[in-house]
Structure formats: C-alpha cells, structure tokens
C-alpha cells in the first residue's frame, strides 16, 4: 500500500499546528550579532535623487552602516529580464521606492536611522493613470500579437457585432509571510542566504551579480514560504541582495524583513488590465470573430510582464472556438510598483475578458449565458488561435454535463427566478463558467526539473529537488512520488530544504509546474536507484531484477511475496557491494515551442479543465452581497494527493473571488498606495467562504504524459471564481424589468460597484 494518490495531510502539517514550522525570519534568533535593515523610501512617484546624506543616520545610536549605490561591489542591477531595475536607483520610479538601506543593531534603530537619512529629490512628472499612459504611448515592449484568419473580414461578415471595454483591477498577493531574507558568511567566507523565494537559483544569480561573485560563491536556501502566489518569483531577489550586501560589507549576518506596509508598497501586484474588444457573432450566439487589445499596467519596469501578457492572450479564448481572431497585448509603463507574477500569470485577465464578452453576447441576444458558453466550446480537431491542437476537447462538455447535473443547475435557475419575482430588494443569481488553462512555462527553457536522491546504508532516504514549498503541497507530493517509486514508507524519506547547492540552475516554482517538472525528475532518480537496488536484491531472492517489487520497505519477487527482504537490508548490501546510492534525475517537457513572430506554436504541454457554478444574493439597497453556494468539478488527472489538490482548488477559488469582488487597490493622486495593509485592503475572510462549497475531482482523467497521470493544479482553479462575478451580474440583471441587454459591472465587483450596476439596470428598466 503506497501513499501515492491517498488523501494525506501536508508533510509539515504537524509543525504548522504546533508553531514549530520555521520560516525565514524565524531563524533570526540563531544569528548572534544580527543586523537589521530598513529601507529609506521616497515620498514621490517620480523624482531624481539629487543628493543623499547619511551622516545624521550614522549618528543615530545603533546604526552601523547605510547602504547606497556606491557600496555595490558588482552590478547595481537586479532586473531579471532586462537591466532596468537598479537596486539603489538614482531616479525614483514609484512612490515609496527604496533609495538606500540602513543597517543597525535593532529594528528600531534601523527605522530611526532610515528616517534620519537626508535625501534631496527633484520631483518629476509622474504618470499614474493607465489610460493617460496609453495615450502617451508609454510602453515597455513592442505589441505582442496572436492572430488567426482575418478578424476584420470576420467582423464585417458577422450578422451581429458589439464593441466594449472592461477594466479589471490588480491584486495584492498578501502572502501571510512578508518578504524576508537573512544572509551570512559561511565557514569559508562565502555568502549563504536564507530567502523566502520561489526561485532560489535566480536569487542566487542576482545576489552574485550584485556582489560581483560567481554563482558557486553564493548558496541560497528556501526552507518554506508562508505563501507566495507568484509574488516571490522575481520579487524576492531585492531583499536577498540587500541582506547579502550587508553581510558581505559588514561581515555580520544581516536580516531584511519587510513590514506589511513596506511589502505592499515596495512589491508588485497582479497586473490591472484594460481590455477593448469588438466581437462578431450570429443569432444563436456563435462567436465568429474577435478583435481585442489588452493593455496591462506593468508598473515601472519590465519584470515578467511580457510572458504575463502573452499568457493573457493565450487565455483570451478560454474554452471557446473563434474563427477569426486578432489579439494585441501591450505592457504599459506607469509610475507604480512593478506588476509581477500572480497565480494565473495573466491568464485570469485574458479569461475574464472572453467571459465578459460571452455574457454580453448572450444578454444582447436574450439567450441564457450558459447556453452561449456551451455552444461555443472547442470540438475535436479544433486549434487555439495560436495553432495548438486542443487535446481532449470532450473534457469540457463532460465536466459541464456532470456539474450542471450534480449541482441541479436548471432546477435552481427556476427556483431563483421564482424567488426573484417575489423578493423586490434581494435578488439571487446563478452562473456557471468553464476554465481551460494551459500548463507549462511559455518560455520553453524553463520547462526542466532536477532532483538528487540519496539513499543511506540504513535504508533512510534524503530527497532534494529544485522546487520550493510555499504551502501548495509540493513537498508532500514529492514525498509521495519518492516513497512510491522507491517502494518505501513515507517516513523513510526526508525532504531536504531547497538549496542551490543540491540542484543547480533550477526554474522558478511557478506556472503550476512544480509537481510536473520536479516530480518527473524525482521519479527518474528514484527509478535509477531502485533498478540498482534490484540488481543487488535479485540474487538473494533468487529472482530476476525486473521481477522484484518494492513496496513500503519490503522487496520481494512478484511470484513469491511471502519471501521479502527489507529495503534497509538491500541498501546495506548495496553499500557493501559498492553500488552507488546517490542518483540524480532530470526531466524536460517535450515538444514545447512558440514563435513570437508568427504568434504560433505549442506553448503548453496540456490543458487543465474545470467548471464552477456559483449562486449569490445581492441586497438592492446597498449593493452588499453574499455567496450562497459554490459547486466545482475540476480536472487534476489522477490526483497525486487529493487533499492537497482539493486545498488548491478551494484556496484558488476563494483567492479568485477576492480578486473579483473585495480586493481593490487604490492609489492616491500622488501615487501613494492607499490600501497598504489589511485594514484597508480586504482579503476574503471566513465570511466569504461559501456556506455550501462542493468540490469534486473529475474521474477518468488520467494525463498520459505527466508524472503518474497527474495534472497541475496550482493556478487553474483561481479562474473558477469568474462564475461568482457572472452570478453577481445575473443577480444585478434581475433588478431590471425583463431582458436588460448588456449589464455592465465593474471589476472588482465591490458592493459599491454592484450598487451602481443595479442602479443602471433599474434606470434602463424604467425607461423601457
């Protein structure tokens, strides 16, 4: 009996509940002489740093050093994609940007020191507004394009057309553990960094770059993160670099931990996006042609914005076939923090646009939105606008059918209509929406994973792989994969902290790919070891090596299960016989490619599918609402770990719900983020958890080319929350008299946004 595919708890659950699970900053007490760093932040959204005088700071008790551009031994540059991110800027590009850092004996002294640093700024004009930046043509890349057929002609030919636009707001990651790093010099004087990073290899690279070292002089470890969601993919690097610089210059261990307000004002967010679209369709709601521009607010520098906008374009079809398509993505530069990766990586922004469009088409025609959705699903043989064949297109209708049945969709639509006819002030809405999400990094070379497995002579095992644990349960799945493949109990396997000196040149743990890439690599390493151990055990069992079964610490011939050796015994024998008990594993995803010039290729290994039906109730007096019930059916292939997968689905849904409803980023006119902490930026709380929350995993969905038939699950469920937005729109529409036509609803659909939507519907209803 193996634990693979069994509902087991997170491998650290016991440490979580007792408080003994350590996160980067929890290690602070282990470093005597630790220095604390505090940023000197700029009070302008755009300004030149004219002079920086640290003398008053150095006079503050406890202040040890002030770090500025002149202190950088290597490059003053941390940009991951393009050298456009100085660690210590001479030109301030967003409000609150750090221009220097103060190191001191205590946090309090560092803060006082930072307040005492005198900086003279020459304020410069700032562009904060997305539309103003578009008008001024402030772009960070050339246009990104996907095109198929002739959209202009398709629109021309279409019996019906409509144009519109939708702005969707950004989202703060609000991982509960803020960004942190502790750097110290190791026994050989080289740099060791504990970092809360999704991408230790890149953190290592940036630290080396800033310090002017080679990578082998820098080791980065990530024990675990208290959430990341993409926010620690490239944006963990700066803090590690500051800590490492402090350690290198002072010889003392140095700690950076951002306060919540610093975290939200210094780090990037999900891209706010403005979509402008024109769609052609027929009288049944069949989508015929789409022309759309997506303008993503990239903030001040490039960051990961290009692949993010590509992913937005790649998901602008969601699950729907559209013949003639012309999609253009633009990364707009504004004087805000640099927008960055966030669960879904642009996919949600693309997908919400097409769902918006489908709903508008349906309401324009007076057809039920779920019918228009279903009518347009991809069919066998279809390709996406970027030319990738849609494999398993029947998954979507299957999910649709099973879910509408299990959640009693049609009967509930009827009941809701009845309820709404009786309740003038509280209307209910119900909507079902699909998700088709492409899995793989769209930048092909990231699609590789590595592992290192060590078997000790007593049969205990250490496992290393390139992925990081941020709560998504990757380590749990990897332990299951390792234990299953080696045929040992979970308890015999120890997961080692992710460290750059175990597996080099790793990819970020991102794009939902952590388990696919590292799991496949780990499986290879374990298979290598098992094969060697089989050679050792075979003579003793009097059987051929390929006849042996490794199962939960026992090794036996399939034909004679009663005669078994212990795994420990075999390991011991192997050592004695000089058989190597360490192995690496490596995996690269086959067949991934994408040509930016033609906008075609196969950027994804496969698609993950799902659908959700959500019911809401809206109060017509205030616009306040509640989610009454959610039903989800989601495709995770053969689940490696059902509890983990269900957790990802539910957590992703609620996080998506936050993005689409409560979570509103507000910047003041001077560019300061007004919603910088939990009191002003509202995450979903317990009250947002749907009282009825049914989640099922799709059966018969094994994915042939992925580790043990599984599928990635981190990101796709996030977009299931679009059903909640559509349910709100459905409820809003019910306040109108009869068929209301297009129902505009701002995003996020805060109570205020819903309130105004209701007002509009009522007004148009009274005119009719």
Partner 1 sequence: MAIRFTLNDAPVEVADFDPNTTLLAFLRGRGMTGTKEGCAEGECGACAVALVERDARGNTRYQPVNACLLLLGSCAGREIVSIEGIAQGGELHPVQRAMIDRAGSQCGYCTPGFVVSLFAEYYRPGRTEVDPEAIAGNLCRCTGYRPIREVAEGLGQPGDDDPFRRRLALAPPTLEPVQHRSGAGRFLRPGTLQGALTLLAEEPGAVIVAGGTDVVVEVNQRHRRHRSLLSLENVAELAVFEQSADRIRIGAALSLTQIEQHLAGTVPLLAQLFPLFSSRLIRNRATLGGNLMTASPIGDSPPALLALDAEVELASPSGTRTLPLSDFFTGYRQTARKPDEILAAISIPLPLPNVQRFYKVSKRVLDDISTVAAGYSLRVDGAGKISAARLAYGGVAPTPARARDAEAFMVGQVWSHELVKHTLPILARAFSPIGDHRGSADYRSTLIVRLLEKLWADTSGGAA
85 touches which of ligand FES, partner 1, none (CB within 5 to 8 A by kind)?
A: none
CB 444 within 8 A of CB 464: no
> Is 227 among the residues that bind partner 1 (CB under 8 A)?
yes
Provide the sign of the torsion angle of the four alpha carbons 491, 493, 495, 496, taken in this order: positive
Q: Which residue among 10, 38, 333, 398 contacts partner 1 (CB under 8 A)?
A: 10
Decide whether 72 or 749 has the Cβ nearer to partner 1: 749
Helix ranges (H only) for 593-709 are 642-660
What part of residues 103-142 is at the interface with partner 1 (CB under 8 A)? 111
Concatenated DSSP letters of 178-216: PPEEEEEE-TTS-EEEEE--S-HHHHHHHHHHHHT--GG
359 touches which of partner 1, ligand FES, none (CB within 5 to 8 A by kind)?
A: none
Q: Count other Cβ atoms within 10 Å, centred on residue 136.
A: 12
Q: Report which DSSP code applies to 711.
A: -
Decide whether 106 or 138 has the Cβ nearer to partner 1: 106
Decide whether 227 or 346 has the Cβ nearer to partner 1: 227
29 touches which of ligand FES, partner 1, none (CB within 5 to 8 A by kind)?
A: partner 1
Length of the chain: 768
What is the side-by-side strand order in the sheet with 625-634?
426-439, 606-619, 625-634, 692-697
Radius of gyration over alpha carbons of the chain, in Å? 27
What part of residues 672-701 is at the interface with partner 1 (CB under 8 A)? 674-675, 677-680, 682-690, 693
Q: Which residue among 118, 190, 216, 425 contacts partner 1 (CB under 8 A)?
A: 425
How far apart are CB 32 and partner 1 at their closest, in Å?
A: 12
Provide the sign of the torsion angle of the four alpha carbons 382, 384, 385, 386, taken in this order: negative
How far apart are CB 175 and ligand FES at their closest, in Å?
A: 7
- Pick from 372, 359, 373: nearest CA to 318: 373
How far apart are CB 616 and partner 1 at their closest, in Å?
A: 13
10 touches which of partner 1, ligand FES, none (CB within 5 to 8 A by kind)?
A: partner 1
Report how far Cα 580 is from the mean position of its chain's Cα atoms: 38
What part of residues 362-421 is at the interface with partner 1 (CB under 8 A)? none
Decide whether 471 or 603 has the Cβ nearer to ligand FES: 471
Binding range to partner 1, per CB under 8 A, among 122-130, 173-181, 506-514, 707-715 = 173-181
> Is 345 among the residues that bind partner 1 (CB under 8 A)?
no
Please, how many CA atoms are within 13 Å of residue 396, restricted to the half-sphere of its CB? 25
Helix ranges (H only) for 190-345 are 200-211, 237-250, 260-266, 305-314
Q: Count other Cβ atoms within 10 Å, centred on residue 421.
A: 10
716 touches which of partner 1, ligand FES, none (CB within 5 to 8 A by kind)?
A: none
646 touches which of partner 1, ligand FES, none (CB within 5 to 8 A by kind)?
A: partner 1
Strands 493-495 and 600-602, how do they pair?
Answer: unpaired
CB 99 within 8 A of CB 278: no
Judge whether 715 counts as a catalytic residue.
Answer: yes
CB 342 within 8 A of CB 173: yes
> Is 626 among the residues that bind partner 1 (CB under 8 A)?
yes
Q: Count other Cβ atoms within 10 Å, centred on residue 198.
A: 29
- Pick from 447, 466, 432, 441: nearest CA to 355: 432
Binding range to partner 1, per CB under 8 A, among 255-263, 274-282, 562-570, 571-579 = 255-263
643 touches which of partner 1, ligand FES, none (CB within 5 to 8 A by kind)?
A: partner 1
> Is 643 among the residues that bind partner 1 (CB under 8 A)?
yes
How far apart are CB 392 and partner 1 at their closest, in Å?
A: 27
Decide whether 59 or 176 has the Cβ nearer to ligand FES: 176
Binding range to partner 1, per CB under 8 A, among 3-11, 320-328, 364-372, 586-594 = 3-11
Distance CA 28, CA 18 (A): 19
Decide whether 647 or 741 has the Cβ nearer to ligand FES: 647
* Number of alpha helices (DSSP H) and beta strands (DSSP E) in the chain: 19, 29
How far apart are CB 511 and partner 1 at their closest, in Å?
A: 18
How far apart are CB 260 and ligand FES at their closest, in Å?
A: 8
Report how far Cα 291 is from the mean position of its chain's Cα atoms: 27
> Is 255 among the residues that bind partner 1 (CB under 8 A)?
no
> Is 239 among the residues that bind partner 1 (CB under 8 A)?
no
Angle among Cα 67, 333, 603 to the nearest 5 degrees reads 105
Catalytic residue among 715, 726, 744, 759: 715
Q: Which residues bind ligand FES (CB under 6 A)?
A: 176, 227, 471
How far apart are CB 176 and ligand FES at their closest, in Å?
A: 4
How far apart are CB 470 and ligand FES at their closest, in Å?
A: 9
Q: Report which DSSP code applies to 716.
A: G
Decide whether 473 or 623 has the Cβ nearer to ligand FES: 473
Distance CA 188, CA 182 (A): 17
Decide whether 536 or 654 has the Cβ nearer to ligand FES: 654
> Is 16 among the residues that bind partner 1 (CB under 8 A)?
yes
CB 646 within 8 A of CB 695: yes
> Is 167 among the residues that bind partner 1 (CB under 8 A)?
no
Strands 191-195 and 218-222, how do they pair?
Answer: parallel
> Is 756 among the residues that bind partner 1 (CB under 8 A)?
yes
How far apart are CB 508 and ligand FES at their closest, in Å?
A: 19
Distance CA 47, CA 92 (A): 5
Decide whether 282 or 752 has the Cβ nearer to partner 1: 752
Active site residues: 715
């Amino acid at each position: 009996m193996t634990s693979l595919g069994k509902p087991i708890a997170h491998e650290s659950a016991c440490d979580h509940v007792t408080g003994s699970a350590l996160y980067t900053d929890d290690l602070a007490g282990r470093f005597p002489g630790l220095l604390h760093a505090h940023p000197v932040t700029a009070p302008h959204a755009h300004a030149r740093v004219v002079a920086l005088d640290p003398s008053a700071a150095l006079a503050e008790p406890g202040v040890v050093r002030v770090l500025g551009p002149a202190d950088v031994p290597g490059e003053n540059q941390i940009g991951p994609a393009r050298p456009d991110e100085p660690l210590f800027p001479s030109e301030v590009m967003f409000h609150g940007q750090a221009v220097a850092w103060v190191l001191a004996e205590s946090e309090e002294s560092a803060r006082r020191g930072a307040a005492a640093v005198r900086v003279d700024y020459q304020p410069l004009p700032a562009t904060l507004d997305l539309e103003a930046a578009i008008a001024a043509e402030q772009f960070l890349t050339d246009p990104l394009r996907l095109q198929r057929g002739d959209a202009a002609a398709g629109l021309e030919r279409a019996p019906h057309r409509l144009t519109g636009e939708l702005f969707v707001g950004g989202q703060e990651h609000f991982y509960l553990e803020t960004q942190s790093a502790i750097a110290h010099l190791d026994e050989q004087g080289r740099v060791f960094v504990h970092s809360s990073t999704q991408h230790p290899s890149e953190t290592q690279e940036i630290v080396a770059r800033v310090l002017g070292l080679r990578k082998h002089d820098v080791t980065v470890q990530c024990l675990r993160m208290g959430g990341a969601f993409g926010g620690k993919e490239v944006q963990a690097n700066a803090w590690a670099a500051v800590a490492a610089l402090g350690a290198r210059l002072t010889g003392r261990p140095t700690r950076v931990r951002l306060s919540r307000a610093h975290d939200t004002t210094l780090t990037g967010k999900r891209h706010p996006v403005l979509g402008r679209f024109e769609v052609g369709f027929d009288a049944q709601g069949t989508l015929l042609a789409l022309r759309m521009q997506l303008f993503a607010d990239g903030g001040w520098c490039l960051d990961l914005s290009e692949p993010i906008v590509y992913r937005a374009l790649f998901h602008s079809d969601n699950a729907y076939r559209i013949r003639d398509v012309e999609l253009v993505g633009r990364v707009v530069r504004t004087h805000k923090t640099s927008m960055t990766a966030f669960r879904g990586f642009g996919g949600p922004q693309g997908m919400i646009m097409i769902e918006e469009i489908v709903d508008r088409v349906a309401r324009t025609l007076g057809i039920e939105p779920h019918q228009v959705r279903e009518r347009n699903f991809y069919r066998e043989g279809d390709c996406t606008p970027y030319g990738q064949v849609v494999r398993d297109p029947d998954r979507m209708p299957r999910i649709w059918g099973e879910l509408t049945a299990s959640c009693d969709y049609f009967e509930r639509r009827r009941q809701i209509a009845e309820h709404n006819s009786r309740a003038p002030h509280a209307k209910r809405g119900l909507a079902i929406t699909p998700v088709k999400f492409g899995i793989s990094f769209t930048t092909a070379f990231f699609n590789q994973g590595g592992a290192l497995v060590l078997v000790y002579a007593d049969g205990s095992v250490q496992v290393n792989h390139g992925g990081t644990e941020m709560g998504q349960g990757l380590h749990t799945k990897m332990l299951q994969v390792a234990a299953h493949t080696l045929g040992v109990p979970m308890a015999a396997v120890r997961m080692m902290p992710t460290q750059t000196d175990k597996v080099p040149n790793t990819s970020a743990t991102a794009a939902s790919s952590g388990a696919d890439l590292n799991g496949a690599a780990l499986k290879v390493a374990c298979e290598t070891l098992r094969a060697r151990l089989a050679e050792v055990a075979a003579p003793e069992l009097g059987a051929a090596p390929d006849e042996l079964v490794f199962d939960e610490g026992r090794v036996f011939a399939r034909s004679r299960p009663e005669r078994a050796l212990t795994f420990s015994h075999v390991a011991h024998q192997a050592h004695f016989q000089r058989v190597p008990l360490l192995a690496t594993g490596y995996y690269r995803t086959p067949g991934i490619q994408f040509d930016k010039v033609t906008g075609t290729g196969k950027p994804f290994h496969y698609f993950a599918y799902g659908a959700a039906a959500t019911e809401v109730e809206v109060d017509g007096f205030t616009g306040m609402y509640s989610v009454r019930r959610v039903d989800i059916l989601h495709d995770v292939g053969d689940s490696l770990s059902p509890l983990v997968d269900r957790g990802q689905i539910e957590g992703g849904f609620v996080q998506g719900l936050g993005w689409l409803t409560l979570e509103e980023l507000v910047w003041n006119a001077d560019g300061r983020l007004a919603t910088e902490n939990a009191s002003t930026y509202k995450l979903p709380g317990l009250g947002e958890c749907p009282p009825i929350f049914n989640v099922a995993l799709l059966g018969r969905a094994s994915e042939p080319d992925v580790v043990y038939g599984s599928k990635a699950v981190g990101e796709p469920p996030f977009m299931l929350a679009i059903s909640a937005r559509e349910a709100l729109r459905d409820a809003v529409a019910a306040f109108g008299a009869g068929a209301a036509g297009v129902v505009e609803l701002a995003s996020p659909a805060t109570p205020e946004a819903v309130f105004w939507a209701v007002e509009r519907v009522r007004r148009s209803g009274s005119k009719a």
